């Protein structure tokens, strides 16, 4: 299956990404190669192979919910791009 530049544009639009012409061409080639590889996997003979136990068969390991003290605003806001005292500053959304 070949991915066209228009399909790459659509994917970029859905992902809210801006891409230039060089990236668009490269992305189309890479996605085409990925889909061609997946097509090859369809032809693999898996008769007699037991399903492996993967993440789908694992039980969720839960822990007890134990309250802990808050690390405080200095720690939680340390990597904030913009802040005002103890608050995050974020772009206005309507």
* 78 within domain boundaries: no
pTM of the predicted structure, to 2 decimals: 0.48
* 34 within domain boundaries: yes
The residue segments making up the domain with residue 24 are 5-41
* 91 within domain boundaries: no
* 73 within domain boundaries: no
* 53 within domain boundaries: no
**Contact assessment for residue 5 and residue 24, using Cβ atoms and an 8 Å cutoff:** yes
* 90 within domain boundaries: no
* 31 within domain boundaries: yes
d(CA 26, CA 19): 10
Helical (H) or strand (E) element with 1 = none
* 71 within domain boundaries: no
Walk along the chain (94 residues) and give the pLDDT tens digit of each residue.
Answer: 889 999 999 999 999 999 999 999 999 999 999 999 999 988 888 888 887 766 666 677 788 889 999 998 889 898 888 989 889 899 888 8
- The domain total for the chain is 1
């Amino acid at each position: 299956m070949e991915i066209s530049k228009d399909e790459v544009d659509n994917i970029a639009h859905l992902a809210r990404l801006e891409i230039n012409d060089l990236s668009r061409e490269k992305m189309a080639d890479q996605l085409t190669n990925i889909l061609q590889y997946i097509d090859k996997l369809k032809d693999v003979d898996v008769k007699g192979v037991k399903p492996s136990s993967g993440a789908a068969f694992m039980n969720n390991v839960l822990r007890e919910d134990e309250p802990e003290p808050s690390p405080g605003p200095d720690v939680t806001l340390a990597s904030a791009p913009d802040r005002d005292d103890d608050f995050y500053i974020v772009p206005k959304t309507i």
